[in-house]
A and B are shown apart, each in its own frame.
Chain A
């Protein structure tokens, strides 16, 4: 899921310095699950802004990345000078696109695609590179989990299973090796991978996916 955390409070306060009547908008999707942008957090932020002297209110949408979930709050948005959204970057942009008459500012820094490896600890697992090679690496992603995105690792900096960048980061290729060994597929490593075509990733420009089979008539 998408993982993010709230912007530092001073930064948010600075962003809304010129405004008084503010809506804090939460989201019931991923950011609820990572406990950063759900109903509870939206109310918390609005209370803090009230203490700071703002006329702050709060709402949540089931998700902020669907137009239909934004329709019901259309009228509500007209009552405020500015909106702070604590949804992920997708939701924030959807709000700006749907309601151009009012600014929706980001209250959240969207960080990565990841999962809670234990409650409260979220780790990056996927970078949406567009060309998944997990079948070649025993299920461990060399794009998201290797600091250098190596396709044929490990590099010389791998020590005791740890990445040279930080001892807190596992060396992905060490994990890949151990995993392939455990499932008896080390022969996959004998096959060097060619230089990756990054055009499927963000490097190829903003991406789009069209599902011909889903298009509704007339669209």
Chain B
């Protein structure tokens, strides 16, 4: 199992949220990290956990900085305080209570036409709306859905959408709703405007329900919007990520396939990265550096810079800038002179069968029984790692990497693939039995599916 040097983890982790999931996550991570849980009401603390600092506060007034050193000013009724955090995880409040809204509708028991206005909802809530609409149709309501976007990004999404249409649900897409008359009569007059094509339609309906992800929801959406934080980004390979490195938003509506424990495990791995400290995990020993410029050219983040120094014949040395370094470790994997060093130390790869990128494979492997080692990026998996894992008698090694094009360090899988091709060719010259299989996955794949993909009938190493 991966063991990292957690002494790098000052400052700590901010978890902002009032849901049970937020609390359980904070409680689990509090043992390993220095966690502060913040919410706007006393409801934030669903229990008592030692090692967990809980703050009741109204507002996050300001947020600055970068991963490893975010400065947050948090305000409550009485005071305003400044804190520093390495990473931030936000848990928005639970969804739109779609089910209870439909429940109320059914209890009123006045079948008629219902216009459902849908704006800014996540796929899970949209699915609930469609299911509610189907049930309403079965009970004799006529459902009309006016949505900014029809969401089908969940399992069987297209099927459900078709089913709703087949059942007679009417859909308007990309329209605006204006209520013309809501008062006296038993019906409501509504104008539906198509923004692009410039037409307006008037409807007379029995009831109007509105689901607005932005407005109905909690402070958090507003908060994130104010701070310029966008999500979800690249959700297939990197769940919970936002456009700001080090800030995560856990909106379970987007992640039907992950269990709660998988979510917590994944977050644990993500905030355990050493750049939480603002320091770079890697550094260059200038005594060994041949100034071949490989690290300089390969770094996807332009974090390697030549620095003038005295004391060597070149008058300069290559240096890794901690501000720019994202700790992917590609420089480490490619330095021909072993001049790039890892502060975490070299792993022992004896008996390790699976080498994996932690971004795609972390939570997956936690529940498996194989022995594995995680890397910050698949680009950090070198031929030497592969050979060390293979051992002196050779054997099979499996590598799990993000899909090409999904790597958060741009081209890790591409560089790894070239190395795998080279090493397999060389292994082909030796006595048979040694090879490397590289499998690309996304964070939501299941372990058994991967093993089947590898085509390896050797279950003795599987889970």
Contact = CB atoms under 8 A, between A and B. Distances in A.
A8 B338 CA distance: 24
A78 B24 CA distance: 62
B195 to A, nearest CB: 49
Interface string B283-323: 00000101111100110000000000000000000000000
B94 interface: no
Nearest to B392: A50
A53 B434 CA distance: 13
Interface in B429-462: 429-431, 434
Looking at chain A's contact residues, the main secondary structure is: helix
A33 B336 contact: yes
B381 to A, nearest CB: 14
A9 B290 contact: no
B382 interface: yes
B444 to A, nearest CB: 35
Interface string A42-53: 011001101111
Interface stretch (B56-64, B81-89, B383-391): B383-391
B430 A35 contact: no
A6 to B, nearest CB: 9
B350 to A, nearest CB: 13
B209 interface: no
B407 interface: no
A10 B392 CA distance: 18
B292 A33 contact: yes
A39 B289 CA distance: 11
Contacts of A114: none
A38 interface: yes
A53 B431 contact: yes
B298 to A, nearest CB: 8
Interface string A134-165: 00000000000000000000000000000000
B337 A40 contact: yes
B369 interface: no
Contacts of B293: 119
B336 A40 contact: yes
Interface of B: 288, 290-294, 297-298, 335-338, 382-384, 387-388, 390, 392-394, 426-427, 429-431, 434
Given A28-B290, A40-B335, A50-B392, 7 more contacts: A9-B430, A10-B429, A33-B290, A33-B336, A35-B336, A38-B337, A119-B297
